[in-house]
A and B are shown apart, each in its own frame.
Chain A
Amino acid sequence: MERVKTGIPGLDEMLHGGFLPQTANLVEGAPGTGKTTLGMQFIYHGIVACEEPGIILTFEEFPQQYYRDAANFGWDFQQMEREGKLRVVMTSPEVTKADLERVGGRLEELIHEIGARRILVDSISHFERLSDDRSSLRELAYGFVNALKREGLTAVLTREQPALLGDVLSPEDGLAFLVDSYILLRYVEIESTMRKALLVLKMRGSDHDKGIRQFEITSRGIEVRTPFEGREGIMSGSPRRMMDSFVQAFVRR
């Protein structure tokens, strides 16, 4: 089956080759976990390795921030824009929503102008400000994701997770059910050091690696490493050694 490679060592392996084409893929994590980096790497890899132009749709940061961040990894986004392979578009959710609802909107024009195949939406959390009503939010999310698919794009949507550690509280906008894959990035405290964990929670239409992997943000971008071994409760943020849990469970005090 054809795959859309992220270009992230280790992640494509977890996804059994990459995302499925024309799908919406949610990447959720606390601030600083690497959601945007993952998305930028997905866009960069598409342009340089797959001849798939991309769009970064941002509701938060100015394009200059992306140029700077990308340059830190050696990715020249400004040059890619000049070559017509990338567009970094800053706008607001309300305008995007209205734009996608009409024929020949701006985003549609941009997609056709550069022949975009990939899109990073950073971040989808901003749609929450459009409505307080959960069912309206769900409809909005459905409409937005379907519009991206209609344009033939493979999308990475980032979503903020306010909790740095501990219980994860995802917004009840139904997005987790709607998307085709769901990747969770988390901070994990192990022996007084903070590490990062990645888990592919869901992948519709394909098998995937269910392990929780360590990852690092290096000078080349994200690199997914080996699974956490001999520990449990990783996604709680405060894992225990499995041996400790075993002792706790079986040894009577």
Chain B
Amino acid sequence: MEESQKKELDLTARLMSDMDPQLLEFLRTKINSFVKWDLVRFFHENPHTADTVENIARYAGRSSEAVRTELRELAEDGVLEETQLGSMTIYSLTSDPQIRELLRRFAEASDDRQFRIKAIYHIVRGSRGNPHVSHPGQYFKHNHTKH
């Protein structure tokens, strides 16, 4: 292993060591992109919303292409529910109280700058392995200025 890789792993370990393990796991396994972060925040704030990809994209200020896969993955991971309504595919927040509670804690923790920095670092690192994101830094700059 190269020296630079070792250093990065050390930094990651330090950054993540004091994170709530459940939130860290939630972040690692379910919210591994900034689009998903935006989407879960949107559903946390609008827990009764049930809508199509196109409308959710509009509410979240993103394009349909940007949210389509992310919504499907969030549904596969149990954060959202996917329902077929006639010819429409509808997404809504899961009714699972445990996931809802995790979301609440995640949203609460996101108010803290230190937590945000760690979460952003984690997502940027994670997205390097994502073939859909060619340049994570640029992706972050253009799509996630709020965080």
Residues of A near any B CB (own CB < 8 A): 62-64, 87-92, 94-95, 98-99, 101-102, 106, 110
Contact = CB atoms under 8 A, between A and B. Distances in A.
A62 B48 CA distance: 11
Contacts of A91: 49-51, 55
Given A95-B51, A95-B52, A90 B85 contact: no
Given A92-B51, A98-B85, A64 B90 contact: no
B55 A95 contact: yes
9 contacts: A63-B45, A89-B49, A91-B49, A91-B55, A94-B88, A95-B52, A95-B90, A98-B85, A99-B85
Contacts of A98: 85-86, 88
Contacts of B50: 91, 95, 99, 106
A110 B88 CA distance: 20
Interface in B27-60: 45-46, 48-52, 55, 59
Looking at B51, B52, B59, B85, which has the most chain A CB atoms within 10 Å of its CB?
A: B85
B127 interface: no
Contact of B48 (A64, A87, A94, A102): A87
A20 to B, nearest CB: 28
Contacts of B88: 94-95, 98
Nearest to A92: B55
Nearest to A63: B46
Q: Give the top 9 A-B pairs by smallest Cβ distance, nearest first.
A: A89-B48, A92-B55, A98-B85, A98-B86, A90-B49, A106-B50, A90-B46, A95-B51, A87-B48
Contacts of B59: 62, 90
The size bracket of the interface on B is 10 to 19
Nearest to B85: A98
A128 B93 CA distance: 27
A113 to B, nearest CB: 10
Contacts of B49: 89-91
Nearest to B48: A89
A99 B90 CA distance: 10
Contacts of A62: 45-46, 59
A92 B88 CA distance: 12
Contact of A90 (B48, B52, B86): B48
Contacts of A94: 52, 88
Nearest to A106: B50
Contacts of B45: 62-64
Given A91-B55, A95-B50, 14 more contacts: A62-B59, A63-B45, A64-B45, A89-B49, A90-B51, A91-B51, A92-B55, A94-B52, A95-B51, A95-B52, A95-B85, A98-B86, A98-B88, A101-B86
A31 B27 CA distance: 42
A64 B59 CA distance: 13
Nearest to B56: A92
Nearest to B92: A106
A102 B90 CA distance: 14
